[in-house]
Amino acid sequence: MKYTLILAAEDGASPEVGSEDWASYAAAYGTWNKEAAEAGIHRGGEPVEPPTTATTLRKKDGKIEMFDGPFAETKECIIGWYLIECEDLDTALEWAAKMPLVAYGYGAVEVRPVTDLSKLLD
């Protein structure tokens, strides 16, 4: 079973890049990645640039319009994602709880099961 972990945080919640706090925080991601890989559940993941860099497309009156910014203006913004594959929700929640973003208290992780397309076609 695959789960997407969507990482969200408020702007400026995590320590400044290069600071001492940042060093340990970044190292924690290294540990998480390593442990997840060893457990055989890591299927990918990337951080993303802040919402100020986002471009959103939406069709309106038959025309595709382009907006500068994210699809939804929220206080917490998506800052990255992971894809994991594991037994069940409990296991996914365990890995989400260990995610440095949550463990350090800098933001939130949303756990979403990935749609199984093969079942969809049943």
Number of neighbours of residue 47 by Cβ within 10 angstroms: 11
Summary count for the chain: helices (H), strands (E) = 4, 6
Selected binder of another protein within 11, 65, 88, 110 (CB under 8 A): 88
Write the single-letter amino acid at 105.
G
- Radius of gyration of the chain, Cα coordinates, nearest whole angstrom: 17
Shortest Å distance, C-beta 103 to another protein? 17
Query: Which residues are CB-contacts of 98 (< 8 A; sequence separation ≥ 6)?
Result: 32, 35
**Alpha-carbon distance 105 to 16, whole Å?**
15
Site for another protein (CB under 8 A): which residue of 1, 37, 39, 48? 1
93 near another protein, rule: CB under 8 A = yes
Number of residues that bind another protein (CB under 8 A): 9
Residue among 68 and 122 whose Cβ is closer to another protein: 122
Per CB under 8 A, contacts with another protein among 44-83 are none
* DSSP category for residue 53: G
CB of 40 to another protein, least distance (A): 17
3-class SS at 11?
coil
Tokens read off for 28: 């924690």
**Interface map 7-46 toward another protein (x if CB under 8 A):** ----------------------------------------
Interface residue list for another protein (CB under 8 A) = 1, 87-90, 93, 111, 113, 122
